[in-house]
A = this chain, B = another copy of it.
């Protein structure tokens, strides 16, 4: 099975009238790039054509102007997008999302952040019943479950699938007419709803809403299905909420300026730094942050301790995607590449 997708980014939009769906999703993806650098993709529809483009690479490597052009349907009103986190060994083009399938609900596309803990069991059962899978991704299990429930309206089918699936997940789904947002009953992964002049948007983090020109309205509730169809925003509670969000969203995954479930990540980090000083006061001359996610904690520690904050480590913003020959000589050098101390 494919590795868990702890830290992917997802977003989607539904518009009353024609809008540059691909262009807006592209902007939103750029605001979620920190949640996944391995692959990016999007699905766009105008109610008739249903186009998907996805590939390995950063958002701007995948979505060249030429490739965005292919997705620019003049009457486009609906789309979802995904940026995928790199987990060792799963760096395959086939795992890029959105995944799609033609089903009794029409063409479905899905973008998924999180994982299903009982995917293998469900998958084996579906195979025995005659299902065909295209990938080893646990995301595809959701698509197959929905296809089995062609007799139900799509939001009902999604709620039913949520009752079968276990794990922590935020999901966006679409067919040619409807956009759906799903969040597991523990609210492990974030998902927020926004309102724009042209319609509605969903995203893993609020800054992606802003870039698409939408204002934050609220977080999708744990266990909730929210959907937009023919201009109406509707909601049903598929499962009772039992909030248990993942702390790493505030510590590390989310952007510092993201407000998730009511708390800004930067502010949370400052408070954690202050708390760290109270729990572990150090005899020191300076507080030096490890950039970038450690800056908030260092500011908090400096504030609580009264020690001066100084910058002493340079983080190379281009070091992320290096690859190095497996010789000892070069491996030793590599440690100096990403983070280097001042002072030579």
Contacts and interface: CB of A to CB of B under 8 A. Distances in A.
Nearest to A149: B130
A143 interface: yes
Interface in A285-309: 292, 295-296, 299, 303, 308-309
Interface string A243-284: 000000000000111010000101000000000000000000
A103 B128 contact: no
Nearest to A124: B104
A121 interface: no
A164 interface: no
Interface string A201-229: 00000110011110010000000000000
Contact of A134 (B23, B134, B319): B134
Interface in A35-86: 58-61, 65, 68
Interface stretch (A112-120, A181-189, A232-240, A328-336): A328-336
Given A132-B102, A316-B33, A340 B309 contact: no
Contact of A104 (B128, B147, B256, B319): B128
Contacts of A27: 324, 330, 333-334, 337
A132 B150 contact: no
Interface in A90-129: 100-104, 127-129
Contact of A127 (B68, B102, B310, B318): B102
A58 B102 contact: no
Contacts of A314: 207, 255-257
Contacts of A177: none
Interface residues of A, number: 79
A31 to B, nearest CB: 7
A30 B60 contact: no
For the residues of A in contact with B, the DSSP-based class is mixed
Interface string A135-159: 0100000011001111000000000
Given A127-B150, A132-B131, A316-B33, A210 B65 contact: no
Nearest to A72: B325
A180 B289 CA distance: 40
B299 A342 contact: no
A20 B134 contact: no
A25 B11 CA distance: 40
A119 to B, nearest CB: 13
B256 A311 contact: yes
Interface of A: 20, 23-24, 27, 30-31, 33-34, 58-61, 65, 68, 100-104, 127-134, 136, 143-144, 147-150, 206-207, 210-213, 216, 255-257, 259, 264, 266, 292, 295-296, 299, 303, 308-311, 314, 316-319, 321-325, 327, 329-330, 332-334, 336-337, 340-344
26 contacts: A20-B329, A23-B324, A30-B318, A30-B337, A34-B318, A68-B325, A101-B132, A101-B134, A102-B127, A102-B133, A102-B136, A104-B130, A127-B147, A129-B130, A130-B131, A130-B149, A207-B340, A210-B336, A256-B311, A257-B314, A257-B340, A257-B344, A264-B342, A264-B343, A295-B311, A299-B311
Instruction: List 8 tightest A-B contacts by C-beta distance, closest first.
Output: A101-B132, A130-B148, A33-B318, A102-B133, A257-B314, A257-B342, A132-B147, A104-B127
